[in-house]
Amino acid sequence: MKFNNYNLYNKFNSNELQKLNTKAKQIKSDLYAKNGKGSEYTGWVNLPSTINSNLITDINKTAQSFSNVKFVVVIGIGGSYLGAKAVIEGLKNNFSNFIDNKTPHILYAGFNISEDYVYELKQLLTGKDFGIIVISKSGTTLEPALAFRVLKDLLEKNVGTEKSKNRIVAITDKSKGALKKLATQNGYKTFIIPDDVGGRYSVLTPVGLLPIAIAGFSIQKIINGAVIAENDAKNSDINSDLAMQYAITRNLLYASGKKVEMLVNYNPKLHFFGEWWKQLFGESEGKDGKGIFPTIGNFTTDLHSMGQYIQEGERHLFETVLSIEKPNNEIVIPLSEANLDSLNYLAGKNVEFANKQAQEGTRIAHENGNIPNLTIEIPVLDEFNIGKLIYFFEIACAYSAYFIDVNPFNQPGVEAYKLKMFELLKNNL
């Protein structure tokens, strides 16, 4: 893995950098010593290296039990589905919906309250045997609870109440809450959400790992990658800790007025990795009137929509490019006899050659337009490297939030809409 900020430090004065480096050392030491804000939720820090191999076996065995259904619905919102979706979308075929796979299609529910969405999902699954993975710490969050009511009823109708119990897995608190109670009553297979790992840091727990395994990907390889990243962070000083360098860089940029960070990809499979990253950083940093606004750029796609703004609009942006060195497949640009598009000079070259020139050309053009660019590069998009990226961003996010002195692990503001909503639900009945 590589991180490049293109000598950005040279643009800042050395006193400021020195102060940040001093703070960085303190932050790193606080995080590992559990002395920082919210340290009761830092169970994710040592998670990759301490995962029990029995848990991996159990998850894989459970995943296997769904191998003969066409659809498995993951019910969850926020951190309860974004990690799994990020990894699955990152690894699966762009057109897998149209292909008869050996593994189930993963569908998602309980992450919105759209009546048409629930109706159409029910319509699709009517009469079918399907699986449900319901993920909720409490079991009372409105969105997943409503979806679970509808889909549980449907599954019981489709396959009978008894058989439905083998088609439902609950991922929830170890002892408390509505979902735990229901799972115990009905004898659902259950996995535990650890107490010391918050939703947005939970992808390497069963919350993320079970859906990923059901989709047919190697969770062991993901863990292997994350272990490497965990050790890289743990065993490095702040100068060789790439996650810390990323955190320092974005903090410098934020302090200089860059209040929007665009996580850019050049591969559409990374779009939902961006959505996961948005929650991770937005929810960790966005408090006390502070925080960088995280947003996604799917390039070159969005160069033809947001490209104009990035190049010449308000100068409050910087870009972090999530780069993949090599594609997984090869396709060469064909020769055209007529050559009316004048692109024959590219014939015989791989498509990715053009993609990489677009990436480098864009970086130069945007930097010329005073949009700072950072690059994080992995060699190839696979389980191992996604595992590394996950841990890299988790620890970089914790560092970053500590730079602006906020608690990276709480989300007090999420309650505000819920309180108003529940008040209205009761008053407007």
Contact between 89 and a second copy by CB under 8 A: the answer reads: no
Q: Of 283, 285, 352, 394, which one is the catalytic site residue?
A: 283
Catalytic residue among 115, 304, 314, 426, which?
A: 304
Amino acid at 55: L
Q: Is 418 a catalytic residue?
A: yes
Q: How far is the CB of 227 from a second copy (least distance, A)?
A: 26
Query: Would you say the C-alpha torsion 123, 127, 128, 132 has a positive or negative sign?
Result: positive
**Residue appearing with tokens 């996961």:** 276
Q: Is 360 in the site for a second copy (CB under 8 A)?
A: yes
- 362-368-371-373 Cα dihedral, nearest 10 degrees: 50
Only segment of 53-61, 158-166, 226-234, 289-297 that touches a second copy (CB under 8 A): 289-297
Q: Applying CB under 8 A, which of residues 49, 101, 239, 336 lies at the interface with a second copy?
A: 336
User: Considering beta carbons, is residue 352 or 394 the nearer one to a second copy?
Assistant: 352
H-type alpha helices, 203-293 = 206-214, 219-234, 242-255, 271-285
User: Do the Cβ atoms of 110 and 75 come closer than 8 Å?
Assistant: yes
* 25-33, 232-240, 389-397, 411-419 -> range binding a second copy (CB under 8 A): 411-419
275 touches a second copy by CB under 8 A: yes
d(CA 171, CA 163): 19
> For residue 117, what is the enclosing H or E element?
helix 115-125
Closest CB 41 distance from a second copy, rounded Å: 14
The distance of closest approach from Cβ of residue 421 to a second copy in the complex, given in angstroms and rounded to an integer, is 3
337 binds a second copy, rule: CB under 8 A: no
Q: Which of residues 215-274 bind a second copy (CB under 8 A)?
A: 259-260, 266-269
Q: CB 417 → a second copy: shortest distance, Å?
A: 4
Does 105 qualify as catalytic in the annotation? Answer: no
Contact pattern for a second copy over residues 113 through 132, marking x by CB under 8 A: xxxxxxxxxxxx--------
Question: Could you say which of 10, 15, 68, 342 contacts a second copy (CB under 8 A)?
Answer: 342
- The total number of residues shown for the chain amounts to 429
Does residue number 358 form part of the binding site for a second copy (CB under 8 A)?
Answer: yes
Q: Is position 37 annotated as part of the catalytic site?
A: no
CA–chain centroid gap for 177, Å, is 26
Q: Cα(236)–Cα(420) distance, rounded to whole angstroms?
A: 46
Residue 288, phi-psi category: left (phi > 0), alpha (psi -120 to 50), beta (remainder):
left
Long-range contacts of range 376-379, CB-CB < 8 Å, 24 or more positions apart? 376/1, 376/2, 376/3, 376/242, 376/246, 376/320, 376/321, 376/322, 376/323, 377/1, 377/2, 377/3, 377/4, 377/323, 377/324, 377/325, 378/1, 378/322, 378/323, 378/324, 378/325, 379/324, 379/325, 379/326
DSSP classification of residue 96: G
Binding piece for a second copy, criterion CB under 8 A, among 37-45, 201-209, 235-243, 409-417: 409-417
How many of the chain's residues bind a second copy (CB under 8 A)? 134
135 near a second copy, judged by CB under 8 A: no
- Per CB under 8 A, the segment of 8-16, 161-169, 231-239, 406-414 that binds a second copy is 406-414
Q: Interface residues for a second copy in 157-196 (CB under 8 A)?
A: 178-179, 181-182, 185
Residue 68 near a second copy by CB under 8 A: no
- Rounded Cα distance, 410 and 37, in Å: 9
Contact assessment for residue 233 and residue 268, using Cβ atoms and an 8 Å cutoff: no
Of 203-211, 218-226, 227-235, 301-309: span binding a second copy (CB under 8 A): 301-309
Task: Give me the active site residues, please.
Answer: 283, 304, 418
